[in-house]
Amino acid sequence: MTAPETPIRVLIVDDQALLRASFRLLLDTTSDLVVVGEAGTGEEAVTLARQEKPDVILMDIRMPDMDGIEATRRICASAATPETRVLILTTFDYDEYVFAALRAGASGFLLKDVVPADLITAVRVVADGNALLAPAITGG
């Protein structure tokens, strides 16, 4: 009998409580994913990332007190979270956001209109150390 694999630990960061709850419900009902926390601001995201050391962070861009780009930069540059990968999940597909997110260290960029199954796949892809961009971003 093989030991069960360790679930992928996910931190959800979005300033809208309803979206955080929806993402949590989706991810927590997936056997290989577990939500380890939720944050509503970039500051909270940085703090929780250091405390929980998630494998993947679903990061919104537009949030109060620190945006998701700056939070991503701090998390990806921190010695406290060297294995943490950030997947940007936003409503806005502006080129400057994509480039800024990638420069900050994000491993992926998806739009919030993503199909739930594709979001789950994206979390797994990023957790495996691969990069991912939404097809709409790459023109596909």
Q: What is the pTM of this model?
A: 0.92
Show the domain range for 88.
8-135
- Residue 48 inside a domain? The answer is yes
- Residue 140 inside a domain? The answer is no
pLDDT at 2: 43
Total domains present in the chain: 1
- 79-90 per-residue burial string, b: 16 or more CB within 10 A, e: under 16: eebeebbbbbbb
Spatial distance between the Cα atoms of 77 and 95, rounded to a whole number of angstroms: 23
List the chain residues with pLDDT less than 70: 1-4, 135-140
Spatial distance between the Cα atoms of 63 and 112, rounded to a whole number of angstroms: 15
- Residue 2 inside a domain? The answer is no
- The bridge status of strand 56-59 relative to strand 108-111 is unpaired
Please name the residue that has the structure tokens 């999940």.
89
- The domain that holds 95 is classified in CATH as 3.40.50.2300
120 in helix, strand or coil? helix
- Residue 1 inside a domain? The answer is no
